[in-house]
Structures are given as structure tokens and as C-alpha cells.
Structure 1
Amino acid sequence: MIDWIPADERLPFDGAGVVAAVTGRYPAEPGADPVTGPEFWIVLPMYFRDVHPVEETGEVVLNCFVDSDRVLRRPPGGGTDEVVTHWAYWPNLPGTDVRKIVGEGVGPALRAVSDQ
């Protein structure tokens, strides 16, 4: 079960990998009013930044969620077309209380869950 946190109540720590519930509108037909495209609400893998420099423009954006295509989305009232309504931390690795294992601990952790 995922513990969804409203994005307008609390934000993750800087650099956190999260899943985010994002709402917005798909693009409308060419030449149509942009607000006529269908609405969506989807879950996307993202990471959170307290301060995010935009390389292309030199702009600095505060408190934003960034996806793998470097699209920025913000909580409600943040001024982005697509809005993060809720977020949740990624789950821990199976049989552990951590999200990441590097180095010598990987083998024992994998063996522990494969022996179950």
C-alpha cells in the first residue's frame, strides 16, 4: 500500500525519488482552444528538487518535481500547466528497510529474499 501525501501539505526531501500523481490536460486538436483537450490524472516516476537550475534558460525553479524528460511540475498553485496533486516515496527493497544497497551488501540481501 502506498502512503500518498498531498503536495500542498508537505514536500519530499531534496533529491528524493518519488512517484507523483499528476493532473493536467492532453493537447487539444491543432487550432482548437488549448483547454479543450481531455483531462488526465496519472502516476509518474519523478524526483524532487528544492532548488532546480534550468540549464537551457539559466532560470532557478524552487520546489519542483522533475521527470526523466526533465519536465518540471509543481504542487497546486505553483504555476505549471501540469500539477502534482500527491506524491509518495518509492517502496523499500524486498526484505529490507532501505531503498538502495550498493556494494558488498547486495549479494547477502538478494540471497536473503531468494531463500524465503
Structure 2
Amino acid sequence: MRAEVEWVDSRERLPEDGIPVAAAIAGRYAPEDGADERDPAAGLEFWLVRPMYFTTRHFDEDGREHRDCFVDSDGIVRPPYGRDGEDPITHWAYLPTLPGTTVHYLTGEEARTARAKALGEEA
């Protein structure tokens, strides 16, 4: 199976609230405390893709409120590109749907049946 990905510039449009997405993160590796100055990654720019979800309102561990932001599985909050904050999201894309379906989430009998169909097994 192939999935087409449509990347969206985060300066132009943001995902719906609560939607999981693939997010392209831009930033620069900082040297770690006590790290060897010859660390080849220190100071290098990066651009990478990670799964995140978008939310219109998020409170971090310190209680600080963030608006229209992307949050990863570690709770790291990242802003859309062009807004204040570190390691902004330049682009985002909806995650592909489950194989053979038009949805991202199934439970119970629907999950069992769809999975069996996608694997060519009897349900």
C-alpha cells in the first residue's frame, strides 16, 4: 500500500484541534553541559519529522498555557513556524488512515474485521 502525504505550511493553515499529525520540526542541536566541544552534532541545524498532535490550548507541567501548538509524546510543546518558541513546526501532514479504511481509529469488532480484511485473513 502507498500513502500520499500532503504537507501543509504551518504559516498558512493549522490542523483541527486534537488531531494527530506528522510534524516537520526545525531547530539546532545545542551542546550538552560538559559535552566534548568536538561533538559533531553540536550547533548543527536539523529538520526532522515526528508524530505529534495539534491543540488550540495546552497547559504544560508548570501550568503555563500554550495556544495553537503542537505537542509530542513527551509533552514537549512546539509552536507553528514564525511564532515565539524553540524548534518550531514548519509543516504538518495528516497521518495516513488505517489500511483499507478512511479512518484513523477503530475498536472492538470493527477493528478486528478491518484488520483481518487488510491482512487478507478471515474475520
TM-score of the superposition, structure 1-length normalised? 0.88
Letter in 2 for 1:64: C
| TM-aligned CA deviation for residue 81 of structure 1 | 1.6
What is the aligned partner in structure 2 of residue 73 from structure 1? 78
Letter in 1 for 2:93: A
| TM-aligned CA deviation for residue 77 of structure 1 | 2.1
What is the aligned partner in structure 2 of residue 27 from structure 1? 30
What's the CA shift string for 1:3-61, capped at 9, x where partnerless? 101101111111111110000000136588xxx7100000011011100012x322211
Take 1:44 and 1:70, find their aligned partners in 2: how far apart are those partners?
A: 13
Question: Once superposed, what is the RMSD of the aligned Cα atoms?
Answer: 1.8
Task: List alignment gaps of at least 5 residues for structure 2.
Answer: none
**Correspondences of 1:4-43 after superposition (within 5 Å):** 4-28=7-31, 30=33, 37-43=43-49
Q: Give % identity.
A: 45
Task: List alignment gaps of at least 5 residues for structure 1.
Answer: none
**Correspondences of 1:62-101 after superposition (within 5 Å):** 62-101=67-106
Would you say how many aligned residue pairs link Structure 1 and Structure 2? 112
Q: 2:59 aligns with which of 53, 56, 62?
A: 53
TM-score of the superposition, structure 2-length normalised? 0.83
